[in-house]
A = this chain, B = another copy of it.
Amino acid sequence: MTHTLLSPMDMHVHLRDEAMLKCVAPLSAQSFSAAIVMPNLVPPITTIEALKAYHGRILEAMGEMIFEPLMTLFFKSDYTRAFLEEASLYIKALKLYPSGITTNSEGGVASMDIETLRPVLEVMSDLGLILCVHGETNGFVMDREKEFCSIYESLASAFPRLKIVMEHITTKESVALLDKYENLYATITLHHLLITLDDVAGGMLKPHLFCKPIAKRYEDREALLQVSLKAHPKVMFGSDSAPHPVHKKECCGCAAGVFTAPIALQALTELFHKHHMLANLQAFVSNNAQTIYGYKPPFKEISLVKIPYDVPHSYGDVIPMFAGEQLAWSLK
């Protein structure tokens, strides 16, 4: 049994830099035709020079593979119109992080005050740049995304022409916003379709499943699953694949991030097939994103076959989700 996907895309990925980039970028390119690349390097991507240099390093890491890295800038509320006009030649989106909310987000915005953000968001609206948001407050870990929903609502109302992507949503409350505001969209990860907090901390504590936002409750996972399986036109697959070397995961203070890039398509195919929704996977992993981003990715046929795939224990220094386990589908 074979299932073919045309130009699948990963609308939220961390490719990192240097040795890690060289390790993980080809693994993304193996499955995907294009990807929205997160800008939270150290230091974050905040200049045209850094943007172009990072783009070059990614292409170099890809070698001859067909894969278009779609670049993003790290949101700063003091960017000028002239700067954003120039940047818009190179980027699809800006990624907004509340300061300190996740890995390498220390330079993020200190306040989500609309008036502080207004100048940059107005220019982004004018230029058709997309706003990608890590939507968490600094509240109690299980409430952070839910608490952020009112901020999403304020942003969506205040900037009706701005396309806002709620990145890696994890709650039923965020899902509910999709049908409430025309200009709110979302990416959904593989792992948030599969796990809850029980998988992270209900049995043994599992550092390789620890991520931000943290996995939530069963009813949240169910809400994410339902909009994904039906390929709700406002949701896109974004893996949030976030590799860390094993010594930063299995230690006394484990970094947040699940590494899924090399197994995401196989696991998604298994999930959609199990739910008899395989016909919708194309929209979830490509067509919806093409419409939302107004973007046509390089043509690439990716075929999956229903032959078991033994997930490696590691890729280089990184442990993937399902390490050492078997998935039902393989890349052909």
User: Which A residues fall within an 8 A CB radius of B?
Assistant: 140-142, 196-198, 200-208, 210, 214, 217-218, 249-256, 319, 323
Contact = CB atoms under 8 A, between A and B. Distances in A.
A251 B256 CA distance: 15
A251 B328 CA distance: 27
A215 to B, nearest CB: 10
A113 B319 CA distance: 42
Contacts of A252: 206-208, 249-250, 319, 323
Contact of A255 (B140, B204, B254, B319): B204
Of the candidates A201, A205, A207, the one having the most CB atoms from chain B within 10 angstroms of its own CB is A205
Given A142-B142, A201-B214, A252-B319, 14 more contacts: A140-B196, A140-B198, A140-B218, A141-B197, A141-B198, A203-B253, A205-B205, A205-B207, A205-B253, A206-B252, A249-B252, A250-B250, A250-B251, A252-B323
Number of copies: 2
Contacts of A197: 140-142
A208 B217 CA distance: 24
Contacts of A249: 252
B198 A200 contact: no
Contacts of A323: 252
Given A200-B201, A214-B201, A254 B140 contact: no
Contact of A207 (B140, B217, B254): B254
A221 to B, nearest CB: 11
Contacts of A254: 204-207
A89 B198 CA distance: 41
Contacts of A217: 140, 142
A271 B218 CA distance: 36
